[in-house]
Amino acid sequence: MKVLHTSDWHLGRSLYGQKRYEEFKNFLDWLSAVIEAENIDILLIAGDVFDNSTPSNRAQELYYNFLVGTSKTCCRSTVVIAGNHDSPSFLDAPKGLLRALDVHVLGQKTPTAEGEVIVIHGDGASPPAVVCAVPYLRDRDVRIVEPGESVEEKDAKLVAGIKEHYREVCSLAKQRQSELSEKRGSKIPIIAMGHLFIAGGKIIGGGGIKELGSLTQVGADIFPAFIDYVALGHLHIPQRVNEAEHMRYCGSPIPLGYGEAGQEKIVIIAEFGETALTTHTVPIPRFQALERIVGSFDEISKRLHQLREDGSNAWLEIEYTGAEIIGNLRETFDESVKGSDMEIRRIKNKAVFDRVLTSIENEEMLEDLDIHRVFESCLDLFEIPPHERSGLVASHGEILQLLSEKDWRTEGREQ
């Protein structure tokens, strides 16, 4: 039996305003081809299907079209659990209809632990399996709030509640395994799913990879030794938990930000033989190049020239770190990529940013600033004359108004 583990799709995610539906579609088309080529029996999607709780029409279309298409392949069952970005009720809403396609959806904690123990029945050629499909557990799911609790007490109760819930679900799965194994005459594998932080995991931060730190996390011991494979979601970096081959984060399928641009993205295939589990990874193609360029004006210009010579189509994030104030930085770099397939998604002018903060730090604390005050400080910094300010301030206000009024649910219709 072969199982494919994927997670953290974040359908609908944009990058500095740029929609990424084409990338998501290319990934899902590629995933469908891998399912067929690898003869996958069970597909596991370990949370964060969507990027937010009100996904656009286009994001929903990609999700449902993929599930329908997968039901027509060799894959006999799909199990989907919610992540922290998903709306539990939204993901659960069509679960009855999706069951007709052998798609099991767990959007939220079920009333009893039995609801999260799924038996994938065999078809003669492939053996059955038991899946502990535990969705992302929210605070209200696993603990009772009491007055006067400290932050430490709340966190300890949250961790204890998560552990207890997994203990109940895994114990029931063990019982079902025993029943099925007795009937079959051979061991039935147990697979656990979760969308959570496991202690020791690594995330992107500060331009690189760092430990989880103080984020709420639980130990790997919440998964009993009898679990044959643990399919995890939540962390975007592919990794083993405590170097264990059977306990894995597969990571996000596309780079969701420039901090992930250098990562290899993968899906994981777990194959259950008669006596042992084997795993291997399948690298995901890069459907859209991302590149972050940091340096002085000359360093950035040199890199842009090289990328242009190479015929790159990368979306760029540029951070200018030179000391000299260059007011027309955007126009200059836009001209450098004009006529190429590259796009500059964001330019960070560290010199200007530092000077703006310095000019106001004696007047206000950073947390007291608002977006209008910062814009006014930029006008002061560049000594914009009064007769030119009114038009700039009005345009700035219009842009902010448009951003606040944007209907994210209709963005699919704009494509």
Q: What is the pTM of this model?
A: 0.82
What contacts 281, CB < 8 A, 6 or more positions away?
Answer: 238, 266, 267, 268, 269
What contacts 413, CB < 8 A, 6 or more positions away?
Answer: 57, 58
Q: C-alpha distances in angstroms, 399 versus 346, 374, 379?
A: 17, 15, 17
Cα–Cα distance measured from residue 398 to residue 157, given in angstroms and rounded to the nearest whole number: 46
Which domains, from first to last, does the chain contain? 2-283 (3.60.21.10), 290-414 (3.30.160.720)
Parallel, antiparallel, or unpaired for β 290-295 and 42-46? unpaired
The region, left, alpha or beta by phi > 0 then psi within -120 to 50, assigned to residue 120 is beta
Residue reference for tokens 């994938």 = 120
How is residue 111 annotated by DSSP?
A: S
How is residue 221 annotated by DSSP?
A: G
Residue reference for tokens 């420039």 = 258
Q: Report the 3 state secondary structure along 36-73.
A: HHCCCCEEEEECCCECCCCCCHHHHHHHHHHHHHHHCC
Residue 96's H or E segment, with its range, is helix 95-99
Closest CA relative to residue 297, chosen from 262, 347, 249, 256: 347
Handedness of CA 342, 203, 207, 359 (dihedral sign): positive
Handedness of CA 399, 405, 411, 414 (dihedral sign): negative
Cα–Cα distance measured from residue 113 to residue 30, given in angstroms and rounded to the nearest whole number: 35
What contacts 294, CB < 8 A, 6 or more positions away?
Answer: 318, 319, 321
Closest CA relative to residue 39, chosen from 274, 232, 245, 271: 271
What is the CB-side half-sphere exposure of residue 160 using CA atoms within 13 A? Answer: 8
pLDDT tens-place values along the chain, 415 residues long: 899 999 999 999 999 889 999 999 999 999 999 999 999 999 999 999 999 999 999 999 999 999 999 999 999 999 999 999 999 999 999 999 999 999 999 999 999 999 999 999 866 656 689 999 999 999 889 888 778 878 888 888 889 999 999 999 999 999 999 988 888 777 899 999 999 999 887 776 544 454 454 456 789 999 999 999 999 999 999 999 999 999 999 999 999 999 888 899 999 999 998 778 999 999 999 999 999 999 999 999 999 999 999 999 999 999 998 878 777 888 999 999 999 999 999 988 876 566 555 555 555 554 555 677 677 777 776 667 777 787 787 777 777 666 655 444 444 444 4
